[in-house]
Amino acid sequence: MAVSADLIKKAREQVKAQKGYNDDQYEVVKKAPVKSTPAKTYDTDNRKELLNEKKALHPTPKPIKTSVKDDLEIKGTYTAPEKSKPWYKQSGKDLIMMALDGIKKQRAMTPEERAENDAAYRTKLGGQPAAYLSSRAEEGLSSFNQGAWNAAATLAANSPLKFVPGAVEAIKEPQNKFEKQIQANTEENRPASKGQEILGDVVSSTTRMAPSIFASFINPALGTASFAVPAGGQYAREAELEGATDAQQLSYGIVGGTIEAAIEKVAFINPLKKHTKWDK
């Protein structure tokens, strides 16, 4: 049913009267229709622009800097690292593995690096005297090994092995290694006094003779041989450095080793046998 204009006008006047509006106060506000803005489209070339607009509308809060430890603790997967135990609390297996690992690292070092590393470690444990005397003890054992390997190399150079390419050089290589190690230890560890130097000489001589002494307890002849061979090898090395031939090195080594063995037997082995229960 159609509503006349007069009826609508009359209804508005009634509303005005009820609300208390007059003609000057009452206005009918017509709202403009809301226009919908079409969504903006972007092609692949404008992806960067789209991302920038998104960041501007929805800024990402700055993350709180945390360490890896904090992250793991939040996740509940963090475990504190175990403190290394002192050597006397380690198991036998752990001590063996530690020793093998140390030997592996030393093999990768040059003689100079090894001498410096050993000196720093020994100084940390017992100061300069311990570092010097232990280096002299190592020098004595290295000297024994050097002489033994050089004796073998001298014998090889005067045998048919000299015709085998690289045979003598392969035997001589350990001797060169021990010689370089002795030189590096000597340069790295210096005595603090004359008395310390004399004590170092005693320690070096003792450790150099130690294998021969132990061998003498097993068999006196074995002990004498184990002293004569390294001593002869050192004499042969001295002759080599002086420019002697292979035959001259062998002769000089035999003579020098024999004399050293005789002196050792008279001055040390025989008194030791006399004052101990060696033969009983």
On whether the CB atoms of residues 185 and 135 are closer than 8 A, the answer is yes
User: Distances in Å between the alpha carbon of 242 and those of 56, 69, 171, 248?
Assistant: 85, 64, 20, 11
Query: Which tens digits make up the pLDDT trace of 174-233?
Result: 888 888 888 888 888 888 888 999 999 999 988 988 888 888 888 878 888 888 899 899
Q: Which residue has the tokens 């063995």?
A: 261
Q: Which two tokens stand for residue 148?
A: 């033994």
DSSP codes of every residue in 141-152: HHHHHHHHHHHH
227 token code pair = 């002293």
Which residue shows structure tokens 């001055």? 267
> What pLDDT was estimated at residue 28?
47
Write out pLDDT tens, residues 49-98: 766 776 666 666 555 555 555 555 555 554 555 566 665 666 777 778 77
pLDDT value, residue 122? 83
- Alpha helix ranges (H) inside 2-85: 5-19, 47-57, 68-75
Q: Quote the pLDDT of residue 94.
A: 76
- Name which residue leads in pLDDT, 225 or 40: 225
* pLDDT at residue number 270: 58
pLDDT digit string, tens, across residues 99-150: 778 777 777 788 888 888 888 888 887 888 888 998 899 998 999 998 999 9
Task: State residue 118's pLDDT score.
Answer: 83
Measured between alpha carbons, how far is 272 from 215 in angstroms, rounded to an integer? 14
